[in-house]
Amino acid sequence: MDILIVFSTVEGQTRKIADFIGQRCRSAGHAVHMFNTDEKRGAASFDGVDAVILAAPVHERRHPEAFETFVAASRGELKTRRTLLISVSLKASFSEGLEEAQDYLAEMEMRTGFEPDAELLAAGAVRTSSYGYFETQVVRSVVLNGRDIDLIDGVREFTDWDALSAAVDAFLQATMPHYA
Ligand X SMILES: Cc1cc2nc3c(=O)[nH]c(=O)nc-3n(C[C@H](O)[C@H](O)[C@H](O)COP(=O)(O)O)c2cc1C
Q: Which residues would be at the binding site for ligand X (CB under 6 A)?
A: 9-14, 57-61, 88-91, 101, 124-126, 131, 135, 138-139, 143
Least distance (Å) between residue 89 CB and ligand X = 3
Nearer to ligand X, 39 or 60 (CB): 60
Nearer to ligand X, 11 or 119 (CB): 11
How far is CA 92 from each of CA 87, 106, 140, 155, 160, rounded to the nearest angstrom? Answer: 9, 14, 15, 17, 10
Nearer to ligand X, 46 or 67 (CB): 67
Least distance (Å) between residue 18 CB and ligand X = 9
Nearer to ligand X, 7 or 46 (CB): 7
| 3-state DSSP assignment of residue 90 | coil
Determine the straight-line distance between the first and last CA of the chain, rounded to whole angstroms.
9
Residue sitting closest to ligand X (CB): 124
Least distance (Å) between residue 138 CB and ligand X = 4
Please, what sign has the CA dihedral across residues 110, 7, 16, 131?
Answer: negative
Nearest-angstrom CA–CA distance, 67 and 148: 32
Element (H, E) at 71: helix 65-73
Least distance (Å) between residue 83 CB and ligand X = 19
